Amino acid sequence: MELHYLDNGATTRPRPEVVAAMTRALTEGWGNPSSLHRLGVAAEKQVKEARAAVARLIGAPPAQLFFTSGGTEASNLAIKGAARANRRRGQHIITTRVEHSCVLSACQALEDEGFSVTYLPVNAAGEVTADQVAAALRDDTVLVSVMHVNNEVGAVQPVAEIGRLLRDHPALFHIDAVQSAGKLPIDVQKLGVDLLAISAHKLHGPKGVGALYVRQGVKLESLQHGGGQEHGVRPGTENVPGIVGFGAAAEIARQELATAPARMYALKQRILDGLTAAGIRYQINGPAPQSAAPHILNLSFEGIPRGEVLVHALEEHGVYVSTGSACHSRQIKVSHVLAAMGIGDARGLGAIRVSLSAMTTEAEVDSLVAALRQIVPEMQALGFRTR
């Protein structure tokens, strides 16, 4: 059975170059980068090269990039690390209602520590405005955390504007860029951001490794303590194979940034055109496709009461998508993102998320459309009431 993988928001297929680089790191360059002898030096060199490649992807100086175990750890380190290091200055945090659960959970944990958090509401497309952030800013605000691209509906937040706004405020600015790295251009200097989190497995790299950009001069309280690697920001023997894979993936992602986004927008439109041509009516959950991130499309169809049923039905055709976001699939209520956008059960429970990548082909999206052409009318004929 063929594999038409359109769930790239959940994870992506590792590129052959990535696998090759990691295999080399496992079979040949397996020394400990901290060792004094040449095996250590060789490993350290690999980490250095990977760091440079990842840093180039986001326009950062390599010295300000720290590897972690993934996007979740990077954002946790940023949020908790910054808040705790600055709690004497203030204990107020601003974020949005549509952040990824790692950001929301980290903020909730800080609330338990005595911080107060403002969760900004979003419009029907899932977007916040810089004005909202300005209105919520207080003298005691120490951190603002806004994601670049929302993973469920693809809404792009005005992070550059927020960065400009915060230039004149001491609060630190954190961006969860896990879904935007490799899809939208990122330049941390231009964005004026203090902390930026990214993840390897969302850009055809391996799982288990991510990175946090920390602007020079920003102090963080570390989450873990150890032997001083990564300048003490995130100690622990480096995950060399993962980091090497991340570097290889980041290098390719950077090169593809010139052409991949346009390709993905075109494929997204191809899907919608295909559905329209087949007479399948749909509703888009999120911003207009060309205003959203290039790779994410969240759709609801009439008469489909549960997204999970569509996921399995599509699976039978070799097409893979997700419902809500990968983290929410087990719950029987609308995801917090859709709920914040005002989308109720009737429309939200049946939603599916299609997410493309730089590797997606026309044939794959055509398979999606062909499968939906068959499945949706069949399911609609069964007359389920969407509650």
Beta carbon of residue 7, minimum distance to another protein (angstroms, whole number): 15
Q: How far apart are CA 119 and CA 289, in angstroms?
A: 26
Q: How far apart are CA 11 and CA 379, in angstroms?
A: 28
Catalytic site residue 107? no
Q: How far apart are CA 300 and CA 351, in angstroms?
A: 4
Angle in degrees, CA 162, 78, 159, rounded to 5:
15
Beta carbon of residue 153, minimum distance to another protein (angstroms, whole number): 22
Beta carbon of residue 353, minimum distance to another protein (angstroms, whole number): 17
Instruction: Name residue, tokens 């893979």.
Output: 320
Q: How far apart are CA 148 and CA 99, in angstroms?
A: 10
Beta carbon of residue 320, minimum distance to another protein (angstroms, whole number): 13
Closer Cβ to another protein, 114 or 383, answer by number:
383
Q: What is the DSSP letter of 379?
A: H
Q: How far apart are CA 323 and CA 154, in angstroms?
A: 14
Instruction: Name residue, tokens 């005002």.
Output: 342
Instruction: Decide if 252 contacts 114 (C-beta within 8 A).
Output: no
Residue type, 212: L
**Within a 10 A sphere around the Cβ of 270, how many other Cβ atoms?**
15
Closer Cβ to another protein, 328 or 336, answer by number:
328
Structure tokens at 140: 């005691």
The residue from 52, 327, 346, 359 that is catalytic is 327
Closer Cβ to another protein, 28 or 315, answer by number:
315
Beta carbon of residue 3, minimum distance to another protein (angstroms, whole number): 16
Q: How far apart are CA 276 and CA 168, in angstroms?
A: 48
**Within a 10 A sphere around the Cβ of 231, how many other Cβ atoms?**
11
Instruction: Decide if 4 contacts 319 (C-beta within 8 A).
Output: yes
Nearest to 120 by CA among 111, 107, 109, 129: 129
Beta carbon of residue 330, minimum distance to another protein (angstroms, whole number): 7
Nearest to 8 by CA among 348, 289, 297, 274: 297
Residues that bind another protein (CB under 8 A): 305-306, 308-313, 315-316, 330, 332, 381-384
Beta carbon of residue 310, minimum distance to another protein (angstroms, whole number): 8
Instruction: Decide if 263 contacts 39 (C-beta within 8 A).
Output: no
The set of catalytic residues is 327
